[in-house]
Structure 1
Amino acid sequence: MATSTQNAITLKGSAAIVTEYLNYGINSILFQRGIYPPEQFTSVQQYGLTILMSTDEKIIAFLQKVLGQVQEWLGRNEVEKISMEITNVHTKEVLERWDFKVHNEPPVNGETKMDPNNPVSSKELKKIQAEIRDVMRQIAATISYLPLIEYICTFDVLIHTVKGCEVPEKWKETDEVGIQNVQTVQLKSFSTGLQKIDTIVNYKMTD
């Protein structure tokens, strides 16, 4: 959990809040979309909701590694978008992509003090978590309108960084793959006062 000291959220604190949301959001999507069997998930309480989290050690380790790097980049305002792609294992076709777009925020209603070297948000953590709760509820509700995934699928996480960002040695550059016959739905956004996150799902319409 990110800490809020005297109701002040630093850029590093904001990065921790966003990364925590990404972890819960991605796990929830994996469960809601049936990418892995339901018995491989366990329920936890977060944001006042019951969220299903993967118990698979490989998935946990993968997300820890990827999101650890995401948090580091977010703490330097070097991330533009995080994409979670759901791919058909056999055909390699991308069937669905969840985009988490990051917008670095200017001051709003005095909530943000903009020292370029140390911006601080005074937005209450409870208010941020309430906004995240609304997004998580929408993620859970997408199962009512997204097409049933009838194939064995896997997932990957792509990080879109600003130019000149330092990339770890073992990471490789890749291009985002388009989705045929794509439909797009934008979910609610949330803001830490320093960073605003838009959540968008792109999916292939069934024939």
Structure 2
Amino acid sequence: MSTQQQIVGADILLEFLEVAFHNILYVRNLYPKEIFVRKQIYGIATQVSEHPELNTYLKEVLNSIRELIRHDENSVRKINLCFYNQDKTPVEQFVFDLGKLKADLAVQDPFFLKTEEALRTFCLKLSTSGSYLKRLPENATFSIQIHTHEAAHAALNENPRCENFPWIEAEEDMTEIKEQTLLPLKSINTEYLNLQMYALEKKNKNEEKQ
């Protein structure tokens, strides 16, 4: 892939992830509805946070993903938006399983129409996902995890563009949901983007520890 094609694929992915992160947090009621505003993206109404600290965290995550892709376009394998209960046990994940970033700038979808339609359909699907999932536990928290390889992680931590937002390797018990159920959400396969998205949910996730 040329540098120009890589930039196009990365920009589309990052814009989509930003929209998805905001909408997932809205749908899952982790924050008060009052911190979100409606905006038109992909030709539909979506929810966008106006909370400064939350938005800073999301922007730093997206910047890190951009730098990983800049270093190696195939270095990002999966991205998880993971919710935890008050014991820091993962109880729910929205998983973005990435295929290879790709772009053909000359043919088939030069104006991004197919890609935008796929992303629009996905956002509409995402807006209904809350009706298929149990509510989150009280005092739930979240983090975003990036699945990459060791060399890319080392390069990211040495990157001056990311020096104020260090990443650490997550422990297995912070990434794996035991006794899980799977909710398929959407697959996107266009000239510019290739990914699958699904949600994982811990069975009986609202039960208290005995």
Global fold match (TM > 0.5): yes
Query: What's the TM-score bracket when you normalise by the shorter of the two chains?
Result: 0.7 to 0.9
For the residues of structure 2 that align with 1:40 and 1:94, how far apart are their CA atoms? Answer: 25
Report the TM-score, using the length of structure 1 for normalisation.
Answer: 0.82
For the residues of structure 1 that align with 2:167 and 2:129, how far apart are their CA atoms? Answer: 31
Distance 1:54 1:105, change over 3 A: closer
| Mapping of residues 126-165 of structure 1, within 5 Å | 126-165=113-152
Runs of 5+ in structure 1 lacking a partner? Answer: 1-8, 113-119
Partner of 1:55: 50
Distance 1:50 1:201, change over 3 A: same
- Aligned positions, number: 187
Contact 2:64 2:156 in 1 (8 A): no
Select between 172-181 and 33-42 the one with higher mean Cα deviation. Answer: 172-181
Instruction: Detail structure 1 runs of 4+ shifted over 6 Å in the superposition.
Output: none
For the residues of structure 1 that align with 2:69 and 2:189, how far apart are their CA atoms? Answer: 14
- Please state which structure has a larger fraction of its residues in helix: 2
Distance 1:40 1:162, change over 3 A: same
Runs of 5+ in structure 2 lacking a partner? Answer: 159-165
Give 1:147's aligned amino acid: K
Contact 1:104 1:194 in 2 (8 A): no
Shift of 1:194: 4.8
Q: Which digits, 9 at most, give the CA deviation of each residue in 1:87-135, with x for residues without a partner?
A: 12x21121111111111167xxxx74xxxxxxx5743411101001111
Report the TM-score, using the length of structure 2 for normalisation.
Answer: 0.81
CA RMSD of aligned residues (A): 2.0
Shift of 1:180: 2.8
Q: Which digits, 9 at most, give the CA deviation of each residue in 1:140-172, with x for residues without a partner?
A: 111111112241211101111134211225221
Contact 2:68 2:156 in 1 (8 A): no
For the residues of structure 2 that align with 1:144 and 1:102, how far apart are their CA atoms? Answer: 25
